Amino acid sequence: MSNHSNTIFFSKGDLVFKVGDEADCAYIIESGTVGLYVDDQTGSLITTLNSGELLGEMGVIDSSMRLVSAYAESDLELMQINKTQITQRLQNSDPIIRTLMNVLLKRIRNMTQPNYREVRDANKTIGSNEHNLNLTEGIHKIRFEKELFQALENGDVVNVYQPMVNLDQGYIAGFEALSRWKHPEKGMISPFEFITLAEESDLIVTMGLNIFDNACRQLSEFQRARKTYDFKLPDLFMSINVSMAQLSDAYFFERIKQIAEKYKVKARNIKIEITESMLAEYGLVRRWIKDCHNYGFKISLDDFGTGYSGFQHLLELDFDSLKIDQAFIRAIESNPKSLIMLEVITEMAKRLGMSIVAEGIENLEGAETLASMGVDFGQGYYFFKPMNSEEIISILSR
Ligand code: C2E
Ligand code: CA
Ligand code: CA
């Protein structure tokens, strides 16, 4: 055997590793053939591996020892992969992928148990508390994701709508669509608990279309409900939250256009809320905003002031609306600085031609302060909590 940096050479008949050795690395077979044996080369041959295949990865993944012996069946060239190269990636990977990997490994081990020696020792790590914890967590997540998928199919993921009020004159100007999961046992589940889960899989794309469809259908219904008593007010609008995964989906934009057309809602009455954190994908977001503007959709920058993006993005991207984060609104009472900042942000938004929304308004004082500053719209428990569409319709037609 000789060693040039990461490449290791063996001659025909050489031992690469034997049963019971510590598994501290894996190999990619660059050329030649490796035989895997139950014991030593006199024992039975399990399989042979050829160039391009991976060797010895199993022990590395679950930190056990070699369960088979590997011999060079011909002259052999192997590229060594360090343990950390593998484990680091696994640790950084999606918890569900990690769990699947562990489940598969466990199954493989159980299946092959009679062939291998010292399996019990090797299973030490697999049976460890930490491992079981990760496994339980991962399995819980898979189950939860499956339930969410089912809920989506059953129509148990629904929208509620929170009115946004014109602060100057007090009328309902529009709504934000917020999603809820009606769970048969757990009751209403908050989007904080399931949006992330949906984002980790591709479920968010289907779910997002569902949310969009419901929101557009309701908007046209809300508009009709109100028209019966007051047609002098501007059209109602609907704000809809989107996630990064939706923007990255090639068909999402086409689909939401179709939905808007299906319900005959005017594009300018739809406001798409994106968050500051999404601006990290600058190029993509820029293109998306352009597409939306070409079609007529409005773009609102949500949670303004919480992210790291600062003013650079306001300079380069065109938002129609700024939504100041609730933290600023909450600080009105306790921190006089927040008032000054709110004044400046409002003035800036106006001069840049953006409308400005304050969310999380919980009392009269907040509402009055913000109205006097010239903030256009207010949203918060002081006015209305998020409600289902029947409640909204009854308020609109009151
Ligand atoms: P967000 O977009 O910042 O939505 C505002 C959140 O503040 C909502 O929580 C709303 O119910 C809550 N809120 C409104 N007024 C008040 C108030 O006066 N006081 C307090 N304490 N809270 C108030 P919700 O509905 O739990 O939504 C949480 C987050 O989940 C949303 O934050 C949004 O990031 C995400 N989300 C909700 N629905 C969707 C959706 O359809 N798609 C996506 N991608 N994300 C969604
Ligand atoms: Ca929002
Ligand atoms: Ca927000």
Chain mean pLDDT for the chain = 87
pLDDT, mean of residues 272-276: 94
What pLDDT was estimated at residue 272?
A: 98
State which of 201, 241, 306 you would mutate to test the pocket of ligand 1, scoring each by most atoms of that ligand within 8 A of its C-beta: 241
CA-nearest of 199, 294, 306 to 242 is 199
Average pLDDT, integer, range 362-388: 97
pLDDT band at 351 (very low <50, low <70, confident <90, very high): very high
- 308: pLDDT strictly greater than 70: no
CA of 67 to the centre of ligand 3 (A): 54
Pairing of strands 45-49, 34-37: antiparallel
Q: How confident is the model at residue 125 (pLDDT cuts 50, 70, 90)?
A: very low
Q: Pocket around ligand 1: residues whose beta carbon is below 6 Å from it?
A: 162, 177-179, 190-192, 195, 211, 241-243, 302-303, 359-362, 379-381, 386
Ligand 1 atom 27: residue of nearest CA: 191
Fold of 143-397: TIM Barrel (3.20.20)
Instruction: Reply yes or no on whether the pLDDT at 43 is more than 90.
Output: no
Find the 36 Cα to ligand 2 centroid distance in Å.
57
Residue 175 CA to ligand 1 centre (angstroms): 12
Counting ligands in written order, the one closest to the CA of 242 is 1
Q: Is the pLDDT of residue 114 over 50?
A: no
* Mean per-residue pLDDT, 369-375: 96
Q: Ligand 1: which of 159, 160, 165, 178 to mutate, most ligand atoms within 8 Å of CB?
A: 178
Higher pLDDT, 109 or 57: 57
Which carries the bigger pLDDT value, residue 23 or residue 219? 219
> Given this model, what pLDDT does residue 397 score?
86
φ, ψ for residue 221, nearest 5 deg:
-70, -45
pLDDT tens-place string over residues 215-226: 999 999 999 998
Task: Please give the number of the atom of ligand 1 that sits closest to the Cα of 361.
Answer: 18
Atom from ligand 1 closest to the CA of residue 382? 18
> How far does the centroid of ligand 2 lie from the alpha carbon of residue 360, in Å?
11
CA of 241 to the centre of ligand 3 (A): 9
pLDDT band at residue 5 under the 50/70/90 scheme: low
Q: Are 32 and 76 a contacting pair, CB within 8 Å? A: yes
Split at pLDDT 50, 70, 90, the class of 110 is low
| Whole-number pLDDT of residue 179 | 97
Q: Which atom of ligand 1 is nearest to the CA of 191?
A: 30
Q: Which atom of ligand 1 is least distant from the CA of 359?
A: 15
Burial code (b: 16+ CB inside 10 Å, e: under 16) for 65-83 equals bbbbbbbbbeebbbebbeb
For residue 329, the ligand closest to its alpha carbon is: 1
Q: How far is the CA of 176 from the centre of ligand 1 (A)?
A: 9
Average pLDDT over residues 202-209: 93
DSSP β-ladder status, 7-10 and 2-4: antiparallel
End-to-end alpha-carbon separation of the chain, Å? 87
Please give the number of the atom of ligand 1 that sits closest to the Cα of 190: 26
Model confidence at 118, pLDDT cuts 50, 70, 90, reads: very low
Instruction: Tell the residue nearest (CA) to atom 3 of ligand 1.
Output: 303
Average pLDDT score over residue span 284-297: 96
The larger pLDDT score, comparing residue 16 to residue 131, is at: 16
Question: What's the gap in Å between 28 CA and the centre of ligand 2?
Answer: 48
- The answer to whether 16 and 55 have CB atoms below 8 angstroms apart is yes
How many Cβ atoms from other residues are within 10 Å of residue 392's Cβ? Answer: 24
Percentage of the chain beyond pLDDT 90 is: 61
Judged against a pLDDT cut of 90, whether residue 349 lies above it is answered with: yes
Q: Which ligand is nearest to the CA of 244?
A: 1
Least confident of 151-165, 255-269, 326-340: 326-340
Residues having C-beta closer than 5 Å to ion ligand 3: 302-303
> Would you place residue 134 in the very low, low, confident or very high pLDDT band (cuts 50, 70, 90)?
low
What are the sequence ranges of the domains in the chain? Answer: 2-126, 143-397
| Mean pLDDT of the 154-183 span | 96
Please tell me the residue having the least CA distance from ligand 1 atom 2: 241
State the pLDDT at residue 306: 81
The DSSP secondary structure of 100-157, one letter per residue, reads: HHHHHHHHHHHHHGGG-SSHHHHTTTTTSHHHHHHHHHHHHHHHHHHHHHHHHHHT-E
Q: Whose CA is nearest to atom 30 of ligand 1?
A: 191
pTM: predicted TM-score of the whole model, two decimal places: 0.75
| Nearby residues of 82 by Cβ (< 8 Å), 6 or more positions away | 25
Beta strands in the chain (DSSP E): 2-4, 7-10, 15-17, 25-31, 34-37, 45-49, 54-55, 69-72, 76-82, 157-166, 172-183, 187-189, 237-241, 270-275, 298-304, 321-324, 355-359, 377-379
From the CA of 239, the nearest ligand is 2
Q: Distance (Å, rounded) from C-alpha 151 to C-alpha 159?
A: 13
Contact 95, 131 (CB under 8 A): no
Structure tokens at 6: 């990461």
CA-proximal residue: ligand 1, atom 15 (nearest): 380
Residues 341, 319 contacting (CB under 8 angstroms) = no
CATH architecture of 2-126: Sandwich (2.60)
Cα–ligand 1 centroid distance for 90 (angstroms): 33
For residue 303, give the ligand 1 atom closest to its CA. 3
pLDDT value, residue 347: 96
